[in-house]
Structure 1
């Protein structure tokens, strides 16, 4: 009987990655099928949030800055990886995790202060620090709220997940 090693089985699986790809890029599987890992998008990124991630494919990291949706990554890409910029850049929305200082009773609104779209509000409660509330209709997923968060409590999820 021929058994396939579980690690070898993973080699052939097509599991969707949790990586955040550049704005306007095609789905993750299409992206990794087409991307040549030339790094042109990484070099073109004005806020330096694109880096070489798992497998050498471009990924977004909001730890230091935000996406300005300048479209330079799409403009320099020699491959057909990007959709027309008339589409929304992505389905990403900010999500506040339990490590948020407000959930620990500390008054902090650094994410709200950084959000130009005013997608982050705070709900007051008697005797408690106000808790963050994300308006997903206003959130562009730009990541501006992530870098100033002192506890890295903001993650980004795609609405289609």
Structure 2
């Protein structure tokens, strides 16, 4: 029995009728259906990651957990993989950007700018507003989607996802 059938059966038993794409795939990885079709779930990418942000996700497939830290785009996960699951590393690793939820402390009138302070790309800026604390704004052109801000947010208000994911919420 193939892994795809086992994964689908497990989803069926859990009440999910299609495979769940993780919030964040590995950099340079193929689209999720192609990735899971050939991934052996060996774990080589997990042990290769110097940041230790790759975890075993649903079905044992690798996914990123930005609450553990940032992706440095070192490419070690790509190099460690013996399968053909990745695009060339001279391409953009992904189209992910930081997205800030309404639960951000600034929306509660609490002054916090930790995400801005941790963003090396300077993609997060706080806009001063008359009569309230500054609110964050993400410059999609500057954001690399590295995830540093996710781990640094004290209330978990930031996620890293494709810009299209925000449109579907």
User: Considering the TM-score relative to the shorter chain, is it more than 0.5?
Assistant: yes
Following superposition, the deviation at residue 16 of structure 1 comes to 5.3
Question: How many angstroms apart in 2 are the aligned matches of 1:18 and 1:54?
Answer: 8
- Is 2:51 aligned against 1:47? yes
1:129 to 103, 116, 133: 133
* 8 A Cα contact 1:91 1:160, kept in partner: no
Structure 2: state its 5+ residue gaps.
Answer: 1-10
Write 1 or 2 for the structure with the bigger share of helix.
Answer: 2
TM-score (normalised: structure 1): 0.90
Q: Which residue of 1 aligns with 2:27?
A: 23
Following superposition, the deviation at residue 69 of structure 1 comes to 0.2
2:92 to 85, 88, 93: 88
- What are the Cα deviations for residues 30-75 of structure 1, in whole angstroms up to 9, with x where unaligned? 1110100000000000000000010000010011210000000000
User: Moved runs in structure 1, 4+ residues, more than 3 A?
Assistant: 13-16
- Is 2:148 aligned against 1:144? yes
* SS across alignment from 1:32: helix
* SS across alignment from 2:144: coil
Question: How many angstroms apart in 2 are the aligned matches of 1:15 and 1:41?
Answer: 21
* 8 A Cα contact 2:100 2:157, kept in partner: yes
Question: How many angstroms apart in 2 are the aligned matches of 1:23 and 1:152?
Answer: 22
- Is 2:113 aligned against 1:109? yes
Number of residue equivalences: 155
RMSD, aligned α-carbons:
1.8
- Is 2:77 aligned against 1:68? no
* SS across alignment from 2:26: coil
TM-score (normalised: structure 2): 0.86
Change (3 A) 1:121 1:84: same
Q: Which residue of 1 aligns with 2:3?
A: none
* SS across alignment from 1:145: helix
